[in-house]
Amino acid sequence: MTTISIEVDNELARSFLQATVEEKRQFQMLLNLRLKELIVNPNKPLATIMDEMGSYAESQGMTPELLTSLLDEK
């Protein structure tokens, strides 16, 4: 893997920096998959991409409870 830098808003950056190592790993996996889908196959329907992301996230240990917890954090 290669590291890249992207700009995000301050709130997102703060939340990411405060996340646990495991949460950061899961965010990075999800972002990696999403960027790959957008760049490799930009014409794939969004619903298909979201279904694939969900399946991949679940296979990597993301649970609905963890996702809800992460999304609810401010």
List, for residues 36-52, the tens digit of each pLDDT value.
877 787 777 778 877 88
Which residue pairs, CB below 8 angstroms and at least 24 apart, start in 17-25?
19/70, 23/66, 23/70
Range of the domain at 55: 27-72
Q: Does residue 18 belong to any structural domain of this protein?
A: no
pLDDT for position 20: 93
pLDDT for position 24: 93
Contact 62, 26 (CB under 8 A): yes
pLDDT for position 52: 84
Contact 57, 29 (CB under 8 A): yes
Q: Does residue 33 belong to any structural domain of this protein?
A: yes
Give the span between the Cα atoms of 26 and 32, in whole angstroms: 10
pLDDT for position 74: 53
Those residues of the chain that have pLDDT short of 70 are: 73-74
Q: Does residue 32 belong to any structural domain of this protein?
A: yes
